Homo-oligomer: A and B are copies of this chain.
Amino acid sequence: MENVKGLQCISCGRVFPADDRVFTCPECGEKGILDVIYDYDYIKKNISRETLSQNRDYSIWRYLPFLPVQKESRRTPLKVGWTPLYYPQKLMEVLGLSRLFLKDDGLNPTASLKDRASAIAVVKAGEEGFETVACSSTGNAASSLAGNAAAMGLKSVIFVPQRAPQGKVAQLLIFGATVISVQGNYEDAFHLSAQAIAHWGWYNRNAAINPYLVEGKKTVTLEICEQLNWQVPDWAIFSVGDGCTIAGAWKGFKDLYQAGFIDKLPKMAGVQAEGCCPITRAFLSGNPLEPMEENTLADSIAVGVPRNPDKALNAIRESKGTMINVTDEEILQAMKLLGHTCGVFGEPAGVTGLAGLKKLVAGGLISRDELVVTCITGNGLKDVNNAVKAAGAPIKVDPDLGELKKKLAGLVRF
């Protein structure tokens, strides 16, 4: 990889060569998460705003010089990335914003932002000769890994916690994954997957451990900046679970800045669910992270023991951003608000950023004229039970116009 200088430990600062199969710093252990260090001179020589404007590959691979993969590596055949960036008039009116953009990452091939990371995972697994990839996940990382593995012809083994919604599990099985439903919480699933990966020698796609996955996630902000014609948002709002997504989003902005594509950086706002907010708590208190129970319906961000709090906390702090919590009720309200005003159906974790944005605007931290972007990180079809909670039930009628008139009278005005 001519564009990569090495992997740097975010704890001790040591740099390791990128072709080692090292996932965490040998000195610092689990705390020693690694960060990919690029050669920005190489990047500048190989990609520019102008070459991008001519590039008709509308997928994450248009940013190849920014990605930690070999140029000639086999890639997932699925079309990952280049999801739409909407400018939602009615939603802006409701929120009281004049320049809001909404990235719909539920339109990725397996219906979540996680496809961006899994696309990198399967390429790296292929580069290194693995035949089986594995991860533990509350759902989206898993389905994206299983889908991209199937498309690449790799086997996948997925560890899910007991509470993973049926839709997400069905998707895994359809993709041919071996699915292990661990009778416990996410933490139990994570530990068992780590032991099994060590035992069988599979490729490890656990996002916080594998330094390459954040690099896939960062493509969401590469796209946002290009779609905004290289304007930089004042605020970028993301939901936060494990911490990897907001860390990746921040890495995207920083890489673009270092390579001279943009001339400033945004503030990052991270939003957690009140029932599971260990990273918000650590941010606000300044104390080390302490685990929490996982009491939220936003299952994709219900992570009581996040694996990557440091990268996430660094992103918020470096960017001079903030963190905020929202209740499950506020999340359900955000699902309705998004659907009613934009025709976009987000899953609970997918709209948590939007719920937080609403609060940040109401609280005066984000003002009307700031340029704001938030991302819907997963499709609501993945978790229909919660959608039903948010949306209510249909009006049942017999096939008779008289009955329909009676039932609609008073209810709806046309």
Contact = CB atoms under 8 A, between A and B. Distances in A.
Interface residues of A, number: 90
Interface string A366-409: 00000000000001111010011011111111111100110010
Interface stretch (A185-193, A247-255, A271-279): A185-193
Contacts of A388: 166, 170, 173
A414 B132 contact: yes
A175 B339 contact: yes
A408 B196 CA distance: 11
A267 interface: no
A87 interface: yes
B343 A199 contact: no
Contacts of A381: 111, 167, 171, 379, 381-382
Interface stretch (A28-36, A37-45, A143-151, A301-309): A143-151
Contacts of A192: 397, 399-401, 404
A181 B395 contact: yes
A342 interface: yes
Contact of A344 (B109, B184, B379): B109
25 contacts: A58-B58, A79-B84, A110-B343, A147-B339, A147-B344, A147-B345, A148-B343, A157-B414, A166-B388, A170-B380, A170-B387, A170-B388, A173-B387, A173-B394, A174-B338, A176-B336, A178-B408, A179-B394, A180-B397, A181-B397, A182-B397, A183-B399, A184-B399, A189-B399, A202-B414
Given A147-B343, A170-B387, 16 more contacts: A58-B58, A109-B344, A111-B111, A132-B414, A147-B344, A148-B343, A155-B414, A160-B394, A169-B394, A173-B393, A174-B338, A174-B340, A180-B404, A181-B394, A184-B398, A184-B399
Interface of A: 58, 76-79, 84, 86-90, 104, 107, 109-111, 131-132, 146-153, 155, 157, 160, 166-167, 169-176, 178-184, 188-189, 191-192, 195-196, 199-200, 202, 335-336, 338-345, 379-382, 384, 387-388, 390-401, 404-405, 408, 411-412, 414
B188 A399 contact: yes
Nearest to A395: B180
A412 B178 contact: yes
A77 B88 CA distance: 8
B175 A343 contact: yes
